Structure 1
């Protein structure tokens, strides 16, 4: 999730666990610090754009390593504030702050390597978008109330924010399952045989869902809103570059993106350059993670540093479309 959300979650968890045992501002402050720490790995340069993407949310998001970090951070905080008697409570609070960060991240589609060093599998439920105000706002309101109200009433507001945001995550999974059932039924009714199906929310909401279905030669994209009057989905097919993918299957960065995206990727060639695109984040024709791997004939791909070639949607057309489509208006997506 975005940095503001992780700060709000960390602060809310810190305040909830520490209560009035220490000043609320201390719990909120260190909760925010702990909620930010895992994402500092974004500043590490691993050498190229592909590695920077696939090694983000790795060790710094692993439950094992964060659990080992928690007592050291708790010792530091309790010493800074002269509260050695609260060491165990700070330990519990900061452990929960640290591990709720990757547990929230795993609800997005990106991929979070929770179980390092035992496995580097990138887990991702994909039921919430990376920025969702309906999740974040209750947390912010609760923390602000806890800081401003000098009574247990503020703590109740904070607890309510955590409960509401957690219930929203539960709702997102239920909504995702509903959209998945509709997508599978639509594919079956239209006689479309696919190998894999991806169902993720459109930006900032959990009413509109983006659907990606993979075949050996193409990928199909569609959208479904929970408010659609008809469950029939319009699927648009695009070439996934199956022949190119097979030709360059041993290319180290093609293979890495193929694994990290769980097979939701395409390979293309433009002006003699080989491109590999993660199809999970973005929508046609704009994708966040589109990598230029250099001259296609360079099979090993080691003589060229991969470059990120992100494409952003036209906000002037994308946002009005998103708003209308979210409420069930069957308008085609902007291209």
Structure 2
């Protein structure tokens, strides 16, 4: 989730439990604790572009790491501010821990994948019930957290927590409805996929991307929920087959191992990018939910497959009218 939402939710939980004279401290510690796990993005390597994919949302997001991560943040706050102002380390640690505890669970509600049970499991949890950025979730929460601080009362923060839980619950219901629409669409095509997944499009719970796998291909469509759901038929792309798509790739080579690392990160939603040679894309994400145009991919090099890691490519390309088309789909209008 975006850092603003993480910090605000991190503040809401300790504020909802704090006494009035500790409301400011609860807010500060909660914000710090709520945002701190994402410092793992600093774990990078100039020689290995995929290293950050392995460590982002890994140990700092594990549930078992919460007491440790909270202690590190609390020590930093106490050392820089707490001793001089006279704050109790115990209060700092408790409030920071409450904020820290909200982070991974909120991240798991997105589609990216979070290692909640590291080091006991490398499963990436992605509950797909909220977009990574959603102003309808965040803005009311910010207002309530600020009101709680200004008024020095718990109830606005408590209301903020209920708002988040209610919104995420609505996301679960919407996701399940979108998945059912995806199954109906597959059935109309004569397909019987083992799994249909639905993922929210950018910043809303109305428009969803549906993905399923059938006969060696991914089928990507979009559905706008409502009393009469609107389906936006999408695209198909063959599932990645290394022997077919990259016959030159040597098994066990450095870049072949990188492909498997990227496969784990993408939860096996991989395909050869039809637009770029020697590029493998993550099919889960695109600017328009009924299109196959990955936001990130890896670029292989047949001339350096055992001497150089793959390149990690982030695509921010958007054609003319992309956001207008997205808004049209969110409104449920024909394209």
**Which category of TM-score, normalised to the shorter sequence, fits these structures?**
0.7 to 0.9
The alignment's C-alpha RMSD in Å is 2.6
Is 1:278 aligned with 2:312? no
Secondary structure of 1:213's partner?
Answer: strand
Task: Look up the match of 1:61.
Answer: 61
1:31-83 CA-to-partner distances (Å, cap 9, x unmatched) read 11111210011112144222222321111111111223334544665653424
The answer as to whether partners of 1:201 and 1:209 remain within 8 angstroms in 2 is yes
Secondary structure of 1:211's partner?
Answer: strand
- Between the two proteins, the alignment pairs up a number of residues equal to 321
Task: Look up the match of 1:45.
Answer: 44
The answer as to whether partners of 2:258 and 2:309 remain within 8 angstroms in 1 is no
In the alignment, the residues of structure 1 paired with residue 245 and residue 100 of structure 2 have an alpha-carbon distance, to the nearest angstrom, of 38
In the alignment, the residues of structure 2 paired with residue 261 and residue 165 of structure 1 have an alpha-carbon distance, to the nearest angstrom, of 27
Task: Look up the match of 2:326.
Answer: 322
- Show structure 2 runs of 5+ residues with no match: none
Task: Look up the match of 1:170.
Answer: 169
- Which 10-residue stretch deviates more, 225-234 or 193-202? 225-234
Is 1:202 aligned with 2:206? no
Output aligned runs, 1:139-288, within 5 Å: 139-149=141-151, 151-152=152-153, 155-227=154-226, 229-230=228-229, 234-242=233-241, 243-244=243-244, 251-268=256-273, 274-282=278-286, 283=288, 284-288=291-295
| Structure 2 CA distance for partners of 1:184 and 1:41, relative to 1, 3 Å | same
The answer as to whether partners of 1:228 and 1:328 remain within 8 angstroms in 2 is no
User: Where has structure 1 moved over 6 Å in runs of 4 or more?
Assistant: none
TM-score, with structure 2 as normaliser: 0.86
In the alignment, the residues of structure 1 paired with residue 195 and residue 51 of structure 2 have an alpha-carbon distance, to the nearest angstrom, of 25
| Structure 2 CA distance for partners of 1:142 and 1:190, relative to 1, 3 Å | same
| Structure 2 CA distance for partners of 1:177 and 1:313, relative to 1, 3 Å | farther
> How far is the alpha carbon of 1:225 from its aligned partner?
0.5
1:11-45 CA-to-partner distances (Å, cap 9, x unmatched) read 222322323242x2222112111112100111121
Task: Look up the match of 1:97.
Answer: 99
| Structure 2 CA distance for partners of 1:316 and 1:28, relative to 1, 3 Å | farther
In the alignment, the residues of structure 2 paired with residue 69 and residue 311 of structure 1 have an alpha-carbon distance, to the nearest angstrom, of 33
In the alignment, the residues of structure 2 paired with residue 178 and residue 69 of structure 1 have an alpha-carbon distance, to the nearest angstrom, of 37
The answer as to whether partners of 1:286 and 1:312 remain within 8 angstroms in 2 is no
In the alignment, the residues of structure 2 paired with residue 161 and residue 236 of structure 1 have an alpha-carbon distance, to the nearest angstrom, of 39
> How far is the alpha carbon of 1:103 from its aligned partner?
0.5
Is 1:36 aligned with 2:41? no
